[in-house]
Structure 1
């Protein structure tokens, strides 16, 4: 699906409709950023995101002297306006930062948490004694809403590393919400895809379905309620979100979902309280780190599974000379490595505050070498493969394996990523989300933002042995994989992607393309993708199947086209990256076409 830019020069004709407003764009309107450029080169700082308004917000902050953290928060806040079905203050995410002064990589885990009163059987329908259906019960519900962490993440990042206040960095997003942005094809289609869910709630349908339809392509979409919410937060800070009237309203929306009488959706009630919001805290922890072909690759530690799973796969692949192989063989090894790593993800990885996750073993080169022994260069293994033994390994090929763990996948694709580098060499890689496209479907009445349905990432049925079981206060396992790569201690790449459980494979395959297969960063992003998550079939884009399907099938891989209830588009991921070259120049690179294409900008473009 393409996401073209629209230059609308119609006469002013404003229609105030419900909570939001839609209008044609007058010729005298302030300049709006609608053109998408997937690659930009230059100096002075760079931003890559999915949206030109959001990228421009980050560039504006950099141009006025702000640093990478300031720009990242400004970009994220703007995405909450223009990409409200993917991100916003009703959700959470993972923030990774490289400090140019110290040479240190740090992280903030702003993942949503389960409420303190959430029972282990929260996903069991009391009327039937059976698990709720994922669709429609869980995805459109209060029971799936976790305590949001995005705003706390922004404030902690600014406090630790920023140079500007929350008030300052919220200004561009507040302006966009007030003056409106140009509706494009993707925004309209995503709205229509959620029409039935949005119609269930008056506050949501008034905002996103004015007059009963999604906003037309080329019109302006304004969100005055969100602008007011941002002004409140700019004035009072995060305390206005996590305490007081707004916290009470969030809790009320979750516990008594404001569905209307016309809907036939069940919308189960949830458990978030004002006390849960007041007690929310981000988690700060060391990143994961592996060395791949001489590059230090930093990832997110649990509750994200991104760092351990990608790190293990890189350690496995490090045992092979991918650059010296035919491309089909290199792809075969890539697919086999992720099957092995996902087996260990399913067996061992959950929120480290609740589960003893063997991070050191999973990212140990010896463990990766031992797992690499299981790859047959001429034949794909039967999936699912078994997890490894993290207690006893020495890099020597084992005689046997342990029990199988089947990968379960309820993570949704609607997430977003941004990468930022400033003129001082500070780097941010930040992935944030509200889970489902459109989150829980519930707009907090009068506040202009959607609440997440992130708790659907927990396993549906409680099992004490499952590291991703439901527990009060716990963060559900995530695949979000913001990544920073250093070369000889200097930053080389900031990269990440949306895509649910395919995020890990998307970032990994892009790195393999860039490091092993001779592609530049833009080519590495554009190349067709496939994702093997320890399942019988490989999920692949049609272009990948056309190019490599017969050869890989001859090796025993079964390829199936991307596109199902979780990923309706026949595409995988939407990478946003910034590469820092040895001479200090920057390449900001975004998707050329996936999810409508992304927007890459630099402060001082190369002429």
Structure 2
């Protein structure tokens, strides 16, 4: 999509949501491969459906979820099928070797499952310090077993299915197992990312799977089969997820982690056997007439989103419209939220995170009062929220480039918003003989251990979950009914992506496809960042006149959003990636 067409669609889309037609997409359109480059854009139509919908990062994964929904499956059933297919077709971003956060809505109750990876029992705060006592270089820490956390996604899927699944465990696993056996065509995006990748070939299992003997990535359209992953899935289908956390699969994981020749880890079979999903209370707050809910700590994403939306609520964003003034407000709101994020957010089992204070409406209004509509504040300082029990400094910044998001609404009105990750693209660059990549999630911890003599909130500790930026989000309308399901990959940029999309949908009344495709903009309490190659580049001068230091950067979001309307479901899949929004 060109930047001019994006702007044109953005402006034309204002107020169009209620007038959209609602006809199911043709099957051929739903599964057609996208020609997009790894960081390019391909124009997509808005998705529409009357009964149910899946928005996911690859057409094959979305189609698997759609088939499960058509068979009478729940939103959770579909999410399991989508996640397992994504493990195959989008291996750089997520899979059973990583972790996830799921937010679930059953029409009455909002639930949140924390399947974040944990540090092994042997992990110590100095894990990522070099012999000189200084933090290691990022990729020196990432590549190898040192960075691998105990995977949580399989346990999360199991618990979600137990709580809210309708179809059998075997039935929801079957689409991915069948695809692993029969194979799938390598997409342009996967091929492009393999071409750019520097470290993956050093792992012999990954090299044999992804690359030709001459070292070139397997070409676009090459049928890639993964019988090892099919065997893993069929074992888990037959014996349950315990077969992942013990037995041959677990032994394979431990051997892969501890056997790296230069950067081994220390994960044990006991670490895997002891992993538990945390059922947490969903974090909810108001925005105008809506209620926005998501995942609380150890994710910082929803806290940041709610703080940003609380600042924006003090302004008439509907009158601002996309442009430099909107970018100013989103950036200033982001500065305030990211300043608090750095100081206060970490695993609540290890740090008393003042979530109640950080999301207190009075506190957020006091922060909003710091925003000058005509001048940037530059670098924001963290605030002093009420209800504090501890005060720790945490300067680390999660990356999570290897992340994906799934939004689903089923025909009974149940919904899933799940963000899932292996952290960096292709994770730790370790592939098990069981057919899946392992995460490098432990590098989401702070590499340093103290700041100004104080222990860092997000430092490495045994059994701890690293801070995340993931922000799977649900929106309820004024009557308490589901209105929207939103989320995105993108590492520390995720809160900015989600807030922009929420403003687009809730304030500017854009359909979710147009809202997802709006230029990305914001600040992580540094420069104001505008998406390069879009019409946002034209906002640079206006922002600089307000004192912003502006940087134009690539912002490869992967927003997947579904909006519920009286006529049916409307979905958007970020044009920067190859996903689709389809339904029945």
Please confirm whether the aligned pair reaches a TM-score higher than 0.5, indicating the same fold.
yes
1:210 is paired with a residue of what secondary structure?
coil
Indicate which of 123, 136, 139 corresponds to 1:132: 136
CA distance in 1, matches of 2:548, 2:308: 18
2:456 aligned with 1:452: no
- State the partner residue of 1:601: 582
2:436 is paired with a residue of what secondary structure?
coil
Per-residue deviation, 1:491: 0.3
- From the superposition, tell whether residues 406 and 244 of structure 1 become closer, same or farther in structure 2 (CA, over 3 Å): closer
TM-score (norm 2): 0.89
The alignment of Structure 1 onto Structure 2 pairs a total of residues equal to 542
- State the partner residue of 1:104: 109
Indicate which of 446, 451, 457 corresponds to 1:467: 457
CA distance in 1, matches of 2:320, 2:173: 49
Higher share in helix:
2
Per-residue deviation, 1:164: 2.0
2:238 aligned with 1:255: no
- State the partner residue of 1:8: none
CA distance in 2, matches of 1:392, 1:377: 29
2:348 aligned with 1:348: no
CA distance in 2, matches of 1:38, 1:75: 21
- State the partner residue of 1:586: 569
Structure 1 alignment gaps of length 5 or more: 3-29, 260-266, 394-402, 563-569
2:474 aligned with 1:484: yes
Per-residue deviation, 1:31: 12
Per-residue deviation, 1:198: 1.9
- C-alpha contact (below 8 Å) 1:407/1:534 kept by paired residues: no
The within-5 A match list for 1:150-299 is: 150-194=153-197, 196-211=198-213, 212-257=215-260, 259=261, 267-299=262-294
CA distance in 2, matches of 1:538, 1:218: 35
The within-5 A match list for 1:523-602 is: 523-562=514-553, 570-583=554-567, 585-592=568-575, 594-595=576-577, 597-602=578-583
- State the partner residue of 2:429: 441
2:404 aligned with 1:416: yes
Per-residue deviation, 1:312: 1.1
- C-alpha contact (below 8 Å) 1:289/1:297 kept by paired residues: yes
- From the superposition, tell whether residues 520 and 32 of structure 1 become closer, same or farther in structure 2 (CA, over 3 Å): closer
- State the partner residue of 1:34: 32
CA distance in 2, matches of 1:533, 1:405: 16
Per-residue deviation, 1:224: 1.2
CA distance in 2, matches of 1:532, 1:499: 14
CA distance in 2, matches of 1:145, 1:197: 15
Per-residue deviation, 1:406: 8.5
Per-residue deviation, 1:274: 0.5
2:68 aligned with 1:61: yes
- State the partner residue of 1:11: none
CA RMSD of aligned residues (A): 2.1
TM-score (norm 1): 0.86
* CA distances 1:183-205 after superposition (whole Å, capped 9, x unpaired): 121111111222x4122121111
The within-5 A match list for 1:321-360 is: 321-325=316-320, 327-360=323-356
* CA distances 1:36-55 after superposition (whole Å, capped 9, x unpaired): 55522121210001100000
CA distance in 1, matches of 2:61, 2:146: 31
CA distance in 2, matches of 1:38, 1:125: 50
Per-residue deviation, 1:175: 1.2
CA distance in 1, matches of 2:561, 2:387: 37
- From the superposition, tell whether residues 49 and 522 of structure 1 become closer, same or farther in structure 2 (CA, over 3 Å): same
- C-alpha contact (below 8 Å) 1:241/1:247 kept by paired residues: yes
CA distance in 1, matches of 2:51, 2:507: 29
2:145 is paired with a residue of what secondary structure?
coil
- State the partner residue of 2:11: none
1:434 is paired with a residue of what secondary structure?
strand
* CA distances 1:89-142 after superposition (whole Å, capped 9, x unpaired): 000010110002xx111010000000111111111234x44322112x112021
* CA distances 1:557-601 after superposition (whole Å, capped 9, x unpaired): 122122xxxxxxx23311011111134x00121012x03x32111
CA distance in 1, matches of 2:364, 2:297: 18
Per-residue deviation, 1:60: 0.5
2:562 is paired with a residue of what secondary structure?
strand
1:86 is paired with a residue of what secondary structure?
coil
